[in-house]
Chain A
Amino acid sequence: MKFWWLAWKDLLLVVRDKKAFLTLILMPLLLIAILGSAFGNIMKENEDITIKKFTLGVVNFDQGQLSKVLTEEVFSKSLSKQIQVKYYQEDDLYKKIKDHKLTVGIVIEKDFTQSLMTGKGTKVKLLSVPDTNINTTIVQTVIEQFSRSVPIEAVVAQMAQPVQAGNPSGIVQKGYGKKPLLKETSIDAKTKLVSSFQYYAAAMSVMFLLMTVVQGVSTMILEKEQDVFQRLLLTNLTYPNYLLGKMLGLIIICLTQAFIIISGTKLLFGVDWGPSIPGIVIMTFAFVVNASGLGVLAGSLINKEQSFNVAGMFGTQIMAALGGSMAPLYVFPDWVVSVTKFLPNGLALQTYLELMSGASLSKILPAVAASMGLGMLFFAIGLIRLSLERRGKYA
């Protein structure tokens, strides 16, 4: 139980340090409010009402000319001020839309040109997220307009060439006035867009929890520099108890801070943390274990507070930037987003966003397990490090 008393002592010291206490609690709420307001216009759900240029994801299985005309001439050239066309594999396009990296996409089937020319019904899949926005409407309208104009152009083309077979007017008769061209597909109807306020509430929470860990570790290193640490070594306290006590203190402080931030943003700013409260609670715990484990590892490796303050500040900024706390994860390439899952804050933020998008507890369990596992691994390495240090330095 000695580890508990060590943790209790750390908590008492934090609570009595009014400046640190206010910084831990008030600063995050304040910053979330400021950033949420500042970025509100960029990431609003209904941002597209202003018809900004957007990217249309295209999967083209068709080898014919009409799909090229549609994508290259109509979308890329005629509508170049509104639309940028990007080509994808089908799976990638689904993923992009699912991850809200694209708002709209189309899949052109392989017999598109032939079907259109012969008047057979064909379908272009229109992919979008459930909350249909103006981008989807624009793409839908363009395709429908294109489908109407193709038979006329086809007749003109037929008239300009020798008649090969059949009645050219038949194209018109069999044309698209009768058969729908578009099949609209909603992707993963359970996911929701995450608003700027939601994003930054999660991002700032994660960053502040990271900073709290850094502050806690700084205190741990300061204690190592002072005689209280040596005095602790002379008592019946063992190294596992010492490190466990330090980690427990950090975990309790961080969980308290997380509770205040999450409930504060929910109650004060109406931030929706998603439908899964157990998911948020468990992920928060897992993240705090992960970050605290990394913290005590750093505390066991570094013996000078001054060195840690420089490394800690630098490290936190880099982790915060890579983890998506400064710029939205959406602007990062996919591989960066994948790599940052190895960072405690990166993994936590991405999981929070999933939860905010409607993910269930079971869906985030792998992330919870990874986070807890990493935390325990960091703790074990820290313990080995401290034991080795004692063997080398102390009797």
Chain B
Amino acid sequence: MKMLTVQDLRKSFGNLEAVKGVSFTVEKGESFGLLGPNGAGKSTTINMITGLFAPTSGEIRIKNIDVIKYPKQAQKWLGVVPQEIALYQAMSARENLKFWGRMYDLSGNELEKSVDQVLEIIGLTERAKDKIETFSGGMKRRVNIGAAILHRPELLIMDEPTVGIDPQSRNHIIETVKRLNSEGMTIIYTSHYMEEVEYLCERVGIVDHGELIASGTLSELRETIGNHSRIILTIDKETAHVEKITQTLLGIFSKKDIQIQDHQVMVFHKEPQLILSDFIQSMTKTGTKITSVDIVEPNLESVFLHLTGRNLRD
């Protein structure tokens, strides 16, 4: 059963086309990742799906309800975790959760029970009475998530929920999302941290410059780079002659398998161990000083790099 259908979605702000014909579907119970660098159009896409922004054109359906025509009906199924902390700082965690629960029509015992459950899920039962302003960034983000799941939504949309927090809180959040998904909640998770998306999501859409440049399961995406690993040579910039390096490498590898960036030279290959010594030797012959060598297994970062020529965090 389709939980979400996005069809040829476009959004322009004046002359700037922020989203350019994005299409994808998310099945019920699935966890879908939207991966892309900052400014790629992920948040704009999310804002249109949630009914906050009207798209310039295109179609969005949540459980077959047209979001553009009936946003309030569609929003009933939705829980949204915004990128920023959308909480009242002078109120305690419990007060915030109760307030947001009431905004979702919860009341009485149902509300109390739901708040207690959510506090347990986000691991803040002990700090329930403390004001949000006294919390660390990570704890605030956990309450931010809690406020979105009080009404047990069928589709949870999380927009960069781990930005700027400590590793411990990040782990807690990721495990919480994993748990919610395993309990049947459909998740759409946007991030520019590919490790999180790889860990959490069954299917991933890669967004760049407002376009969905690739989508599929992790293995399908890895296939787009032929399941190639990446050999990364970090070089001394002062001794590097880019033209010479390029010419030398083109004599050994095909153009699509080579990336040269600032102080890194990368080669994609299915069996990196077989070509490693040739690669290093040829580089040494160009007079380039190598400072380190890394072999990276095929991952989403590699896919993004392969597709765009840029790193995710550029």
Contacts and interface: CB of A to CB of B under 8 A. Distances in A.
Contacts of A13: 88, 90-91
B50 A234 contact: yes
Contacts of A2: 102-103, 105
Contacts of A12: 90-91, 95
Interface stretch (A80-88, A108-116, A222-230): A222-230
Contacts of B26: none
Given A227-B84, A227-B86, A395-B48, A232 B54 contact: no
Contacts of A5: 99, 102-103
Contacts of A234: 50-52, 75, 78, 80
Interface in A7-40: 9, 12-13, 16-17
Interface in B48-91: 48, 50-55, 67-68, 71-72, 75-76, 78, 80, 82-88, 90-91
B52 A395 contact: yes
Contacts of B80: 231, 234
Contacts of B206: none
Contact of A235 (B54, B85, B91, B100): B100
A393 B82 CA distance: 18
A227 B82 contact: yes
A235 B104 contact: yes
A236 interface: yes
B267 interface: no
A2 B67 CA distance: 23
A244 B50 CA distance: 24
B105 A236 contact: yes
A239 to B, nearest CB: 11
Contact of B72 (A17, A236, A393): A236
**Chain A interface secondary structure, helix, strand, loop or mixed?**
helix
B134 to A, nearest CB: 13
A9 B82 CA distance: 20
B147 interface: yes
Given A235-B103, A395-B67, A395-B68, A9 B88 contact: yes
Contact of A236 (B52, B85, B103): B103
A335 interface: no
A233 interface: yes
Given A5-B99, A234-B80, A228 B87 contact: yes
Bin the interface of chain B by size.
20 to 34
Between A2, A226, A232, A395, the greatest number of chain B beta carbons within 10 A of the residue's beta carbon is seen for A395
A394 B54 contact: yes
Contacts, number: 72
A282 interface: no
A395 B78 CA distance: 15
A233 B104 contact: no
A237 interface: yes
Given A226-B86, A235-B100, A394 B76 contact: no
Contacts of A17: 90
Nearest to B72: A236
Interface in A345-395: 393-395
Given A227-B85, A228-B88, A236-B76, A394 B104 contact: no
B52 A233 contact: yes
Instruction: With a 10 A CB-CB cut-off, give which of B68, B78, B86, B104 has the most chain A CB atoms.
Output: B86
Contacts of A233: 52
Nearest to B75: A234
Interface in B140-174: 147
Contacts of B87: 228
Contacts of B82: 227, 230-231
A17 B83 CA distance: 26
A358 B104 CA distance: 50
Nearest to A236: B105
Nearest to A16: B90
Question: Which of A9, A12, A13, A226 counts the most B-chain CB atoms under 10 A from its CB?
Answer: A9
Contacts of B104: 235-236
Nearest to B83: A227
Contacts of A230: 52, 82, 86
A305 to B, nearest CB: 16
Interface in A232-263: 232-238
Contacts of A9: 88, 91, 99
B271 to A, nearest CB: 48
A231 B51 contact: no
Interface string A77-118: 000000000000000000000000000000000000000000
Which of the listed residues A230, A231, A237 has the most CB atoms from chain B within 10 Å of its own CB?
A231
Given A227-B85, A231-B80, A236-B72, A395 B99 contact: no
Interface of B: 48, 50-55, 67-68, 71-72, 75-76, 78, 80, 82-88, 90-91, 95, 99-100, 102-105, 147
Given A235-B100, A236-B75, 18 more contacts: A13-B90, A16-B90, A17-B90, A227-B84, A227-B86, A231-B86, A234-B51, A234-B75, A235-B103, A236-B72, A236-B104, A236-B105, A393-B53, A394-B53, A395-B48, A395-B55, A395-B67, A395-B68
19 contacts: A2-B103, A13-B90, A226-B86, A227-B84, A227-B85, A228-B87, A228-B88, A230-B82, A231-B100, A232-B103, A234-B51, A234-B52, A234-B75, A234-B80, A235-B100, A236-B105, A394-B51, A395-B53, A395-B68
5 closest residue pairs by CB, A with B: A235-B103, A227-B86, A231-B86, A227-B84, A395-B54
